[in-house]
Amino acid sequence: MNPSAYLALSFIRNLADFSALTFIISASFANHPGLDSTHVTLLHLAVGFAISGLVNPVRKNQKDLLVASFASLLSLGFLLYSCLTGHIPDPIFFGFSVGLGRVFWNNALLPAAKNNKIIAIWTDNACLLLNTFIFAGCLFTTTLFPLTPEEPIFPINYLCMAQALSLICTIVFFMIGKFPEQSYEPANYKIYQSSWRDDFTPLIFRSLVQGVFLSLLYLTLTGADDFALIPPIFQNLKNLSFIILGGIIGIIGFYIVNHPLRTIGSAPWGMFVTSVCLIAVSFHPSNMLIVLTIGALGVTNTIACCHRACRPENLQPSISSTLLFNSGPWILAIVFGCFFHLIKLTPLHAGMIVFIGGIIMAWVTLRAFLEQLLSIALIIPYRISTHGPGIEKIPDRGPVIVIANHASYLDPFLIGKVVSRRIIPMMTSVFYDLPVIHWLMSKVVKAIRVEAATFRREAPELNDAIEALKRGESLLIFPEARLRKKEDQLLFPFGQGIWHILTQLPETPIVPIWLEGAWGSYASYFKGPPFANKKMDFFKEIKIVVGNPIIIPKETLTEHRLTRKYLQDAVLANRTIIGLKDTYAIPNDEIKKD
């Protein structure tokens, strides 16, 4: 099944669900039969969403589409009952049905993309952009066309039709779609289980951020305290267009910094922008439109970054992680919403809370935060493209060794932009021991220090590397142990260090990478020492070729020369993927001299 079909159906489902939610909220303004007040309606909807998250199974497969269809059927039944009786049941039921549908529909994205995570990511990103338009349009409808007790609830007829269309399309999608089977347990999951750093820190921040923003939306819709100044802005289509534009810019900014691990590092910037706008609302209400437009940029960017850092297919397959993913934001939204309403929170105080939250997030996710800044700085100098089949096959969990040719000082950062794992580099002491870099490498990056000496009797860094792999980390190693310095020398002979590591852990997957274009960059020895008397790079093309993960054959590991030759050939073979010759400029016999 083409992912474009999933995207089209996502638009139909979200439009049907968001429109119905808009109707219920709008009806609560007029106290329609069955609805007490907007405060109670929003609370019950949030409770329904939170309960729906408890139903989600850990395992995800094609059958999730059946549950999504059942959820659409429940939503249709809720709306039909309201249409026939003129009485709206407790919104908790509709919150449950919509939440259940969204949970299981999201789970079906990876099977719909034929288990291709790259396609799934871009499809999900497009859904985020569509949701920006849908949410803004529904918010506009809610504020511009509030229902009154005297008016019949005629829109519900169209809502029933939309929900019925969503139900039919989902069933058809299930019946005609061909979804490959796949185990959703990451490699070595049972051996290398969840860690707070990799699995739960992004989840916790995602829940906290979404919980705070949902609670602020609750205060806005209910007109609590100073937040009552905001809704009238949305009643003008021109104003709404500017605010939507701000949200789109925020999403586009998210696309630029999109990375499985580092995206969470951009969320603090979105929170800082949002906090400044909330504070500005208090002091400059006359500039409300400008402030809300910029605020929409910060909000959408923050939510998108937190959303991208936690996708269902990347979650640790455990009850705790799935419950936190699906129910956590809604539970916190209820807690924060009630608390903020109780203390009569103002936009000024909300801005201070969001700003402090941004500082905390930046500190806790410091490596992702700093790497994201560096990643943005590399956008203009380099045009980086990824090639090869290996990028999709890097194990999600467990020990991995990434090896590559070493053509410039920027190589670790270039590789980090495309590899989905958090890598631990082995770094020469020449740079590791520099004052500021030493703190970053030892405390933040956790790099392994390699003594810069030509001949040594001991190599403690090899033991450090072995221990890191035993913990399930991923290492970045440049086996040449030196930078390329000659035009006609593609690759130096590999050192013995990689062989010593593999003899201790022979089953460790190795991901070979070839960097094309790094040689000739500002940070290479091309036409002189790096960074010396050279022009800065500007949109220089860099091709990163990632080969399939390999396991060294046992017979090859018996002799270090065979192992080194095997790995050299694996790295050089990636050149053929981009149309270059598999050429080894220096005779392989030189390995025998070592």
> Closest by alpha carbon to 296, among 234, 230, 245, 365?
245
Percentage of residues of the chain with pLDDT beyond 70: 88
514 and 586 belong to one structural domain:
yes
Taking the CA atoms of 76, 81, 87 and 93 in sequence, report the sign of the dihedral they define: negative
Quote the pLDDT of residue 292. Answer: 86
Q: Which tokens sit at 554?
A: 């046992």
Burial category of 375 from C-beta neighbours within 10 Å (exposed 0-12, middle 13-18, buried 19 and up): buried
In a shared domain, residues 190 and 243:
yes
What band does 76 get if pLDDT is binned at 50, 70 and 90? very high
Partnered with residue 233 across adjacent β-strands are none
pLDDT at 180: 63
Cα-to-chain-centroid distance, residue 223: 33
The pLDDT tens digits of the residues spanning 276-293 come to 999 998 888 888 888 888
What is the CATH classification number for the domain harbouring 144?
Answer: 1.20.1250.20
Query: Can you give the pLDDT at residue 515?
Result: 93
Res 227: pLDDT: 79
Q: How far is CA 513 from each of CA 477, 479, 560, 577, rounded to the nearest angstrom? A: 11, 12, 20, 11
Question: 186 pLDDT exceeds 50?
Answer: no
Residue 218 near residue 339, CB atoms below 8 Å: no
**Cα angle 16-21-26, degrees, rounded to a multiple of 5:** 125
pLDDT at 187 over 50: no
Domain of residue 200, CATH code: 1.20.1250
Q: HEC string of 517-556? A: CCCCCCCECCCCCCCCCCCCCCCEEEEEEECCCECCCHHH
Regarding whether 152 and 263 lie in a shared domain, the answer is no
pLDDT digits 0-9 by tens, 377-393: 888 899 999 999 888 88
Q: Which residue shows structure tokens 């790497």?
A: 371
Question: Final residue of a domain: which of 126, 147, 182?
Answer: 182
Residue finishing a domain among 182, 211, 245: 182
The C-alpha atoms of residue 43 and residue 341 are separated, in whole angstroms, by: 12
pLDDT at 592: 47
| CATH code of the domain covering residue 562 | 3.40.1130
Q: Which 8-state DSSP code applies to residue 577?
A: G
Residue 537 CB coordination number (10 Å): 21
> What is the per-residue pLDDT for 1?
54
The answer to whether residues 11 and 21 belong to one domain is yes
What number is the average pLDDT over the span 65-89?
90
**Alpha carbon of 309 to those of 52, 256, 304, 325: distances in Å?**
22, 14, 9, 11
Q: Is 103 exposed, middle or buried (0-12, 13-18, 19+ CB in 10 A)?
A: buried
Is the per-residue pLDDT at 185 higher than 60? no
How far is Cα 338 from Cα 211, in angstroms, rounded to an integer? 12
The answer to whether residues 510 and 550 touch, using CB atoms and an 8 Å cutoff, is: yes
Lowest mean pLDDT among 127-136, 366-375, 410-419: 127-136
Q: Are residues 371 and 397 in the same domain?
A: no
Select from 108, 110, 107 the least CA-distant residue to 120: 110
Q: Do 497 and 361 belong to one domain?
A: no
Token pair for 45: 């909807």
What DSSP string runs through 127-162? HHHHHHHHHHHHHHHHHHS---TTS--THHHHHHHH
Contact 329, 203 (CB under 8 A): no
Residues 253 and 338 in one domain: yes
pLDDT digits (tens, 9 = 90+) for 97-129: 999 999 888 888 877 777 777 788 788 888 888
DSSP letter at 60 equals: -
pLDDT above 90 for 94: yes
Lowest mean pLDDT across 252-266, 389-403, 413-427: 252-266
Provide the residue range defining the domain that includes 481: 378-593
The verdict on 450 and 347 lying in the same domain is no
pLDDT in tens, 392-418: 888 877 889 999 999 999 999 999 888
How many structural domains compose the chain? 3
Considering 179-193, 295-309, 316-330, the range whose residues carry the highest mean pLDDT is 295-309
Sorted by sequence, the CB contacts under 8 Å of residue 87 that are 6+ apart come out as 33, 34, 81
**147: confidence class by pLDDT, cuts 50, 70, 90:** low
* Same domain membership, residue 394 and residue 342: no
Q: Can you tell me the mean pLDDT for 532-553?
A: 90
The Cα–Cα gap between 208 and 214 comes to 10
Highest mean pLDDT of the ranges 19-23, 156-160, 543-547: 543-547
Q: How far apart are CA 548 and CA 509, in angstroms?
A: 10
Per-residue pLDDT at 563 exceeds 50: yes
28-37, 207-216, 479-488 — which is least confidently predicted? 28-37
The DSSP element (H or E) to which 275 belongs, if any, is helix 267-283
Judge whether residue 184 has pLDDT over 50.
no
CA torsion 29-35-39-42 (nearest 10°) is: -100
Alpha-carbon distance of 144 to 148, in angstroms, equals: 12
What per-residue confidence (pLDDT) applies to 191? 46
486 has pLDDT over 70: yes
**Least confident piece of the model among 139-153, 296-310, 418-432, 535-549:** 139-153
User: Which amino acid makes up residue 216?
Assistant: L
Mode of pairing for the β-strands spanning 448-450 and 540-546: unpaired
Q: Specify the range with the lowest mean pLDDT, choosing from 22-26, 422-426, 481-485, 586-590.
A: 586-590
Residues 216 and 288 in one domain: yes
153 with 250, same domain: the answer is no
Annotate 434-494 with DSSP letters as a single string. SHHHHHIIIIII-PEEE---SS-S--HHHHHHHHHHHTT-EEEE-TT-S----TT---PPP
For position 476, what pLDDT does the model report? 94
CA atoms within 13 A on the CB side of 564: 24
Residue 181 has which token pair? 């089977």
What is the spatial distance between Cα 534 and Cα 542, in angstroms, rounded to a whole number?
Answer: 18
243: its two tokens: 């605010």
Tokens representing 330? 């809604």
Pairing of strands 540-546, 423-428: unpaired
Quick check: 72 pLDDT over 90?
Answer: yes
In the predicted structure, residue 195 carries a pLDDT above the cut 60: no
Tokens of 114: 């034929």
Contact indicator for 426, 481 with CB cutoff of 8 Å: no
Q: In the prediction, which pLDDT does 586 show?
A: 47
Give me the count of residues in the chain: 594
Please identify, among 330, 361, 376, the residue that sits at the C-terminal boundary of a domain: 376
Residues 172, 212, single domain; the answer is no
Residues 6+ apart with CB under 8 A from 130: 7, 10, 11, 14
Query: What average pLDDT does the structure give for the chain?
Result: 84
According to DSSP, the residues that pair with 428 across neighbouring strands are 450
Lowest mean pLDDT, pick from 209-218, 327-336, 452-461: 452-461
| pLDDT band for position 516 (cuts 50, 70, 90) | very high
Gap between the terminal Cα atoms of the chain: 54
pLDDT score recorded for residue 143? 61
pLDDT at residue 166, rounded to an integer = 92
